[in-house]
Structure 1
Amino acid sequence: MSIRTAVVALGIALGGAAFAVSAGAGQAAAITPVVAPQDGIYFGVVLDHGETVALQHSPLVGMLNGPLTNEGLFYLDEKSVYNGGQEVDGVVYNDYLEFSGVTAEAAASRSGWIAIALVDPASFAGSPYAIRQVLG
């Protein structure tokens, strides 16, 4: 699979996730799109707590688990159980880290949320995806 195909596939998946999560989160849903090419962020979405919970309870978390776990760069909350692991070239690797687990942890916290973005691999340690987790 070429990088262009991967980007298009993830873009479609993120768009579908944004639609499905906003539909499941009710009228107060407010998925926030993020585009910041100057920072190496091509496109992303910030999911509030309700949207994070809705994503965790949807089949999309399983579909995104593979590519985001294998190729994603995670920025975890300092209270996350997934912090730790081996640091290589400034990137911490944790064998037990999965996108679904990071999402579940944020959904289970009082006001946790996640953000997912397609990013410039040159700016993000070779990863095409960045995932940020904040716990409440």
Structure 2
Amino acid sequence: MGIRTAVAASAIALGGAAIAASAGAGQAAAFTPVIAPEDGIYLGVDLDHNETVALQRSPLVGMLNGPLTTDGLFYVDEKSVYQGGVEIDGIRYQEDLDFAGVTGEAASTRSGTISLAVVDPAVFAGSRYVILQVLG
């Protein structure tokens, strides 16, 4: 694992914990961790809408923008303004995506969410990270 992967993986885990801690007093659940090595997912988090908004408002989105944009595989909602690009083997590739923009779009909708994970590049088309956007 390279230093960029290690830093981004740590940031995902720490960022999820920080968002969960600050998402609001009285909320029962925190972010949902995802670990599924059998599916090629080493470490991931599913953020609810409040956590997605908190991520977008934090400096963490800027720190993650570089590695997640250059080495990430994005699955964007069909209603996203980022739809388009080229579809190869059922995966849509878009050249002008960035993590901050995709997260901002999810945060600005009524129930948009983001999930992100550190994944096995052999399983995910050479990408180290997967970002899933749901606009609700």
Is TM (by shorter chain) over 0.5?
Answer: yes
**Deviation digits for residues 12-60 of structure 1, max 9, x if unmatched?**
1112211221122113252000000111100100000000000000000
User: Following superposition of structure 1 onto structure 2, how do residues 39-54 of structure 1 map, counting pairs within 5 Å?
Assistant: 39-54=39-54
**Deviation digits for residues 80-118 of structure 1, max 9, x if unmatched?**
110101335654332321100100011011111010000
| 1:84 matches 2:84 | yes
Q: Structure 2-normalised TM-score?
A: 0.91
Q: Does the aligned pair in 1 maintain the 2:21–2:30 contact within 8 Å?
A: no
| 1:32 matches 2:43 | no
RMSD (Å), alpha carbons: 1.5
Between 6-15 and 60-69, the greater mean CA deviation after superposition: 6-15
Between 94-103 and 122-131, the greater mean CA deviation after superposition: 94-103
What amino acid is aligned across from residue 101 of structure 2 in structure 1? G
Specify the SS of the correspondent of 2:4.
helix
| 1:64 matches 2:61 | no
Q: Does the aligned pair in 1 maintain the 2:4–2:67 contact within 8 Å?
A: no
State the 1:72 CA deviation.
Answer: 0.2
Residue of structure 1 equivalent to 2:94: 94
The percent identity for this pair of structures is: 61
Mind listing any 5+ residue stretches in structure 1 that lack a counterpart? none
Q: Does the aligned pair in 1 maintain the 2:71–2:128 contact within 8 Å?
A: yes
Specify the SS of the correspondent of 1:87.
strand
Q: Out of 9, 12, 17, which is 2:15 matched to?
A: 17
Specify the SS of the correspondent of 1:131.
strand
Between 87-96 and 71-80, the greater mean CA deviation after superposition: 87-96
Q: How far apart are the structure 2 equivalents of 1:75 and 1:102?
A: 10
Residue of structure 2 equivalent to 1:6: 4
Specify the SS of the correspondent of 1:81.
coil
Q: How far apart are the structure 2 equivalents of 1:98 and 1:125?
A: 18
Specify the SS of the correspondent of 1:82.
coil
